[in-house]
Structure 1
Amino acid sequence: MPVYPWQTEVWQRLTGARQRLPHALLLQGRRGIGKRDFALALANWLLCQAPTPHGPCRHCRACHLLAVGNHADLRLIEPLEGEEEGRAVRQIAIAQVRELEDFVGLSTHQEGARVIVIHPAEAMNPAAANALLKTLEEPAENTVFLLVSHKPRQLLPTVVSRCRTVAMPLPDEEMARAWLESQGVIDARLCLALAGGAPLEALRYADGEYLAARGVFLAALGEPAKLDWLKLAEQGARQDLASQIDWLQKWLYDLVAVRLARRVRYNPDFAPRLRELGAGVKVEALLRFVRELEGVRRHLDHPLNPQLLLETVFLAYQRAVMTQNG
């Protein structure tokens, strides 16, 4: 697993104090900045039999086992598909956490450390979080928990209190753009803006077809008086709903932002149109629509009629934006 350039300082700080590392670390920060990769790199380093300041040695038996995903002293706990109140959910269940009780109670296979990575930690349901708490309160020898969280406020305070919190950094724009360009991303500036500055998230947007579809979509939003919401909904029903709602939410954020602060965050390629459209926007009307859209997003998994849903959304958008011109 790589350690990204913006993580170097944190890496040096943690690996320089191996003997003083606590039994549980909470790696928290924005989604899309490489926290999971960092946790796995740190786990590999802790399990390596001849670690260097720069990372695992890559040559010992432990490193070979890690390379093929077969190290018996490493556990990666991530959400499983499940169901809650009749809808599909992804969560970390209590059974996954309870399995750790046997894991930490056994001797290590490689006579070294034992590492558990939980990602994202906020995906634990309440029962799972409470089960983990018991294990954290009575840590086994040579056992390190690495909890990764995008939303630490959703964690039980008692779980957080038993971890050392590590704030994972968001890179500055210059470093993030340079890294994206090194990965072959053509329009790094735009992709980074769409991702809110998170470089790994930005990689998701570095797709020509995706950016072209977004461009057509936003061009339609930029002309609310001419918006054919029926046609747009018919076309959108055959495309990814989540992406369209995401584009719309970020467009609304920028409309409000240009009205209040004359700044565009997510859509720099549409900045002139956003400033023109947002100059007289009625912020209250847009914020009401933003709240309605948040409710729509929470129920996108299984819409009964995607086209009808989009018709409702686009008509509501047109009304909210046209209110500013009325």
Structure 2
Amino acid sequence: MTLPHDPDEAECLQRARAGDAAAFDRLVALHRRRLHTHCYRMLGSPFDADDALQETLLAAWRGLASFEHRSALGAWLYRIATNVCLRLIAQRPRRITSPDHAPPLLSTAELGEPVMGPVWLEPLPDGEWAGVDDEDPSATLQRREHVALAFVAALQHLPGTQRAVLLLREVLEYSAAEAAELLDTSVASVNSALQRAQKTVKERTPASSQATELQRIGEQGLDGLLCRFVSAWESRDITAMVSLLAEDARFTMPPLPSWFDGRRFVERFFAERVFRTPWRLQPLRGNGQPGFACYIQQAGDDRFRPGGVVLLRLREGLIVSIDSFIDPAVCRRFGVADELL
């Protein structure tokens, strides 16, 4: 994956090496978003990715003298970012999803206490990774596949080096030799790690990617499904909601450890807990998936307050997963308003 040099890159590099911070910012500006997304895939949290990106850029600023301009700047930055992420992976617990934590609940009576700390896989707003509007549709589809929640969740089950190899080879499209150079290892080691990583990810991701499912249902079909979903939730129509769910639908809600598996239990959770109070939903997108900012109106309050961010996963025109993130920090990340009238 060797990109041509920007004609202004050499001048910016020279000025940055002389201590010009503005020149350095211009030098790395085109790489920031992709580096952040790479760190997000590696670490499973946009907040951890923020830390990794900051550390990457600081290391790049300090190490400009070691960068040889005959090599690609992007590859050099990815090398730094990947090594930063590998170090963080060794220091922090891996990010998990609700099924990784405990079995599903069979009753809605007690949902448990929130499990706080850097534990849960967290979503990434589309505005932080999406490409430009005129991007080739096939490229957009591939980028969606590589940021979907299920894919990022599967990556977290890989050892750090396998994560890095799979992303460098299959997402960033570096050759085995290039990946080996970036990771200071052999081509044989890269190929072996890639085979093991592919097997694990295949076992833990749906047979049909979310990007493919969204393409299959089409824009009009998706709009209709989402409108019915909003109507069912806001009107607290349990029959309408259940009609949208696949038989094996699930509902998760980190940092609460509780989750429900199967349409019958998701139906019970909506009927016995969720629909006890009024809600308002506003559309948003994260991880290349449709979703909503969900606002709840508690008793005695005339306003709707943030209750969480929900992302939907679809299969064959039905909802197979409702992933609800009720951490206030996630709501703020998605720009959820503090209140609605």
* TM-score in same-fold range (> 0.5): no
- TM-score normalised to structure 2 length: 0.27
Identify the structure with the greater helix proportion: 1
Q: Whose Rg is larger?
A: 1
